[in-house]
Amino acid sequence: MQRKRAWVLVALLALMVVVLVISRSQALPSAYKGLTLPTPRPVEGFTEALPPPVWLIAGDKAVIGTLAAGGTSRGHADPAYALPDLPIASLLADAPAVIVVGSESVKSFKATVRPWSEDGRIVPLYDDTARELKAEVQREENLTVFTLESTGDAGDQLLNVNITFPVENAWAFYLWRLNPAQAPKLTVDQAATATPSPVATTLPSVEIPTSCVAHSEDRAPYFNLADGYCLLYPAHFRVSDVRPGLAGFYGPPLDQTIEPVFGALSILVEGPAAGRTLAQVADHYVSVNRSGEGTAVTRSTATLGGEPAEIVEGRLDAVGSRQVFVLHNDTIYQLGVYPVDEAFPQAAPYVAAVWQAVSTSFTFLPEGIVAGFSSCPDGNDNAAPYLNLTDGYCLLYPSRLGVSVQVASHGVVFSGWLSEPGAKPVMIDLVIHAGESANGRSAAQVATDYLAQYPADVAAQVVRTPIRVEGQPGEMVDGVPGRTQTRRAFVVYNDRVYEFTLSPYNDPASQTYQAEADAAWRTVTASFVFVTVSESP
């Protein structure tokens, strides 16, 4: 049980391919019994020797394994919760498999198989579904060869081979995916507790409505693919309370109380009109919310997104509001603006600003645009979708967080307060900054340049780990010093640097919230998809 618990804890650690100091003086073998042995790929950023390569011989093919983790007596590196692009092999249920190790010195060997997890997880490795395969060993020149018993299962599986070597008590494990029925696809629920693996490829170019293209730094665009609309809103507002069929836009708090006043706009997609007219929809809202005949209600008509709109204004809630109803494709859209109330004059400028921005830009998305972004992940009650066409990506983020856009610096902040009874609240910030040109640099080189600002002894304490975000190579650095300790990752795509920052991360003062910080990081990085768009002139 203790071992199982240990592996569960390992699952929370970041992906890191290990640097093992193992003698590699002998040349790597190029073939085994007439089969070409693929050459292991270099691992960017590592200067010391890697462990020997390991191949799986399945039928007439040799498939090199992914080095997932390992260590020596001087230290170790642990696996991520998942790894993208594991090598794939086809293996018959009753056929023995052969594992070829590129070393003649092997201290211990263990091979296990278990059903493949659709979320791509590779740990815990020794759960109740894992089964150890018996192995017979023989040495051939500078190789060690293990013949495994048949798996007895032709289904989708994960093969793990754990090897220890006599040099410095070194250990490593290697992974393959066996018999995938089809290419894996991350579902919405899996993405809500996502792991660092890509879910889609770069999308083809699409043309977006000019009304939703921001031409100044005081407006930010918002796209809701699931509900089929886009708009512009004041950039100093915050997007929050995003759920299926719901989105809110909130101005800054206007006082220091526990429940401050602020101007806000919400959009609710109610569902089918079921044959009702627009006037009937508005009539129903008034009848349900009107507290008495003395409640003053103003009715008017307008146009929103090219469709007729019915406006109801009055104190039908706790504060006065403006409710706007629109029918589009027999679906009811309700926009609420509040407070529209003389009791809150301080909020009036913010209410006017958000209504002006939204009402003049609100656009229903053509079906072709929604279909063009079909590879962007959908949201649910736990994970909200976000599409940033300015900087070319879409993703999911924990719906308990809000979104703030830094237009001038091309930054997006996902943030929220994390608190427990009796504890001091902690603000979590996960920032994505689409920045400078990489000028031909790799992600590892960008990370090195970033760390150059710190004294050598401080930079030496930072843990660096290669990662992938939507299939693109990146470099993650943990333990970055500052007001709070942070995690950063640098990814280069189309020669542009994308920087991810999570704060606090593994900070001694915020250990209580580490799991929530990890979950937010996994959700964003796993669901991240690069997109390409073409703006209309």
Going from N- to C-terminal start, the domains of the chain cover 2-184, 221-370, 375-535
Inform me whether the pLDDT recorded for 309 exceeds 90: yes
> Which DSSP string corresponds to 392-430?
TEEEEEETTSEEEEETTTTEEEEEEEE--TTSPPEEEEE
Average pLDDT over residues 460-479: 89
284 near 294, Cβ under 8 Å? no
Average pLDDT over residues 510-533: 83
Whether 2-184 and 375-535 share one fold: the answer is no
CA within 13 Å, CB half, 92: 5
- The CATH-assigned architecture of domain 2-184 is Distorted Sandwich (2.70)
Stretch among 114-118, 204-208, 263-267 having the lowest mean pLDDT: 204-208
> Which DSSP string corresponds to 462-523?
SEEEEEEETTEEEEEEEEE-SSS-EEEEEEEETTEEEEEEEESSS-GGGGGGHHHHHHHHHH
Average pLDDT over residues 308-327: 91
Rounded Cα gap, residues 290 and 42, in angstroms? 70
Write out pLDDT tens, residues 392-438. 999 999 998 999 998 888 999 998 875 544 445 557 888 999 988 99
Q: In the structure, what pLDDT confidence band is assigned to residue 199 with cuts at 50, 70 and 90? A: very low
**What pLDDT shows up at residue 512?**
65
Inform me whether the pLDDT recorded for 184 exceeds 60: no
Entry pTM: 0.63
Q: Is 46 exposed, middle or buried (0-12, 13-18, 19+ CB in 10 A)?
A: middle
Q: In the structure, what pLDDT confidence band is assigned to residue 87 with cuts at 50, 70 and 90? A: confident
Please give the class, per CATH, of domain 375-535. alpha beta
Rounded Cα gap, residues 429 and 480, in angstroms? 15
Stretch among 70-79, 253-262, 356-365, 453-462 having the lowest mean pLDDT: 70-79
Instruction: Retrieve residue 361's tokens.
Output: 């830009």
- Homologous superfamily of 221-370: Mog1/PsbP, alpha/beta/alpha sandwich (3.40.1000.10)
Average pLDDT over residues 110-135: 74
